[in-house]
């Protein structure tokens, strides 16, 4: 690992693995020149790491001098990554949580930051390459679940759950038709991917690709509104912030789709965790099958909550976007 770190022009004093990521191996590096994050890009997930890093390079350029920022990646021989023994590594300056930064309404700020992210990244000519094939493809994930079910005779999923997920797939296909407008989105817009401070940072840019604005909104809502009953105050704050950050760029159809983005992301993650419960080759490789099943059940309960609160949620969305 010393050779990899040295390739970025850094002499390390200590290196410690951080074990809270689902996908990439991540290390905290300390040196005389500061603190850094070193990551090994998971090639089982990201089949073309060069495309991922090319996208990230473009995003970094777009956000230069903006009032929200993204990580500062180090350069090695003119590239923002190093290939070493067939593995791909990248390094960026460590971004500390600013505990002294006083936040009056954290959820509204989460929404505003991701709204601004979408607004900003779509303000320049940028055509991202595909980082993950079939990412956020609900039909693809549901087909994989069905295949996993047919290949596992020991574990069974209630037929009512499958029918509900199939119905959701049909609904999403109707809402997000072939000609529905797409934008560049973050693709993993959970609250953990925002770091607050005097400058707010959006991190984990691997999944920046073309998609629907509703998916980023839905992912943020899913990651914040985790209680058994809908917290309308949290949802209202997120939605108002998201609308403010977007600055009026969404069409009426896109605004109408935001509720369905919540259902899409929550249902999609439930499907993926159910698949990992059944399959030997797991996407969430740091989770045991039992943990995958428990997480899937949590997401299914959350999905039910969002479905049952549909009228309330859409009312909050329309109020925030003033339609």
Q: Give tens-digit pLDDT for 83-106.
A: 999 999 999 999 987 765 678 899
pLDDT, tens digit, 9 for 90 and up, residues 107-129: 999 999 999 999 999 999 999 99
CATH match of 2-93 with 3.30.200.20: yes
Write the DSSP symbol of residue 284: S
Tokens, residue 293? 């099943």
pLDDT confidence band for 216 (50 / 70 / 90): very high
For the chain, the domains span 2-93, 106-320
Output 151 or 98, whichever has higher pLDDT: 151
pLDDT of residue 194: 96
pLDDT of residue 279: 86
Mean pLDDT of the chain: 94
The residue behind tokens 């985790």 is: 226
Output 227 or 295, whichever has higher pLDDT: 295
Give the contacts of 31 (CB within 8 A, at least 6 positions apart). 10, 11, 12, 13
- Mean pLDDT, rounded, for 188-212: 95
pLDDT over 90 at 283, yes or no: no
In CATH terms, the fold of domain 106-320 is Aminoglycoside 3'-phosphotransferase; Chain: A, domain 2 (3.90.1200)
Neighbours of 167 (CB within 10 A): 11
- Mean pLDDT, rounded, for 17-42: 89
pLDDT, tens digit, 9 for 90 and up, residues 260-280: 999 999 999 999 999 999 987
Query: Hey, which residues does 18 pair with through a beta bridge?
Result: 26
pLDDT of residue 100: 55
Give the contacts of 261 (CB within 8 A, at least 6 positions apart). 212, 213, 214, 215, 216, 217, 218, 219
**Exposure class string for 232-242: b at 16+ Cβ within 10 A, else e:** eebbbbbbbbb
Distances from the Cα of 128 to the Cα of 50, 74, 213, angstroms: 12, 21, 15
| CA–CA separation, 132 and 119 (whole Å) | 23
Is there a contact between 129 and 55 (Cβ–Cβ < 8 Å)? yes
């Amino acid at each position: 690992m010393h050779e990899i770190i040295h390739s970025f022009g850094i002499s390390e004093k200590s290196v410690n693995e951080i074990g809270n990521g689902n996908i990439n191996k991540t290390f905290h590096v300390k040196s005389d020149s500061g603190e850094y994050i070193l990551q090994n890009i998971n090639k089982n997930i990201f089949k073309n790491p060069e495309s991922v890093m090319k996208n990230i390079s473009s995003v970094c350029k777009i956000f230069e001098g903006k009032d929200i920022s993204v990580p500062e990646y180090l350069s090695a021989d003119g590239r923002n990554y190093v290939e070493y023994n067939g593995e791909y590594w990248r390094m960026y300056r460590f971004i500390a949580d600013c505990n002294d930064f006083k936040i009056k309404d954290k959820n509204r700020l989460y929404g505003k930051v991701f709204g601004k992210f979408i607004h900003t990244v779509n303000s320049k000519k940028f055509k991202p390459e595909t980082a993950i094939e079939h990412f956020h493809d609900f039909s693809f994930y549901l087909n994989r679940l069905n295949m996993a079910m047919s290949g596992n005779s020991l574990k069974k999923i209630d037929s009512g759950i499958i029918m509900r997920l199939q119905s959701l797939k049909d609904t999403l296909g109707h809402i997000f038709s072939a000609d529905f407008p797409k934008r560049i989105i973050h693709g993993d817009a959970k609250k953990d991917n925002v770091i607050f401070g005097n400058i707010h940072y959006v991190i984990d840019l691997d999944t920046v690709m073309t998609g629907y604005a509703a998916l980023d909104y839905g992912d943020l809502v899913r990651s914040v509104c985790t209680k058994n009953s809908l917290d309308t105050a949290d949802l209202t704050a997120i939605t108002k912030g998201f609308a403010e950050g977007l600055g009026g760029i969404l069409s009426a159809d896109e605004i109408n789709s935001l509720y369905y983005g919540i259902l899409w992301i929550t249902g999609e993650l439930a499907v993926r965790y159910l698949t990992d419960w059944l399959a030997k080759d797991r996407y969430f490789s740091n989770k045991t099958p039992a943990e995958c099943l428990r997480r899937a059940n949590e997401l299914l309960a959350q999905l039910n909550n969002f479905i049952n609160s549909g009228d309330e949620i859409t009312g909050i969305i329309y109020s925030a976007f003033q339609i």
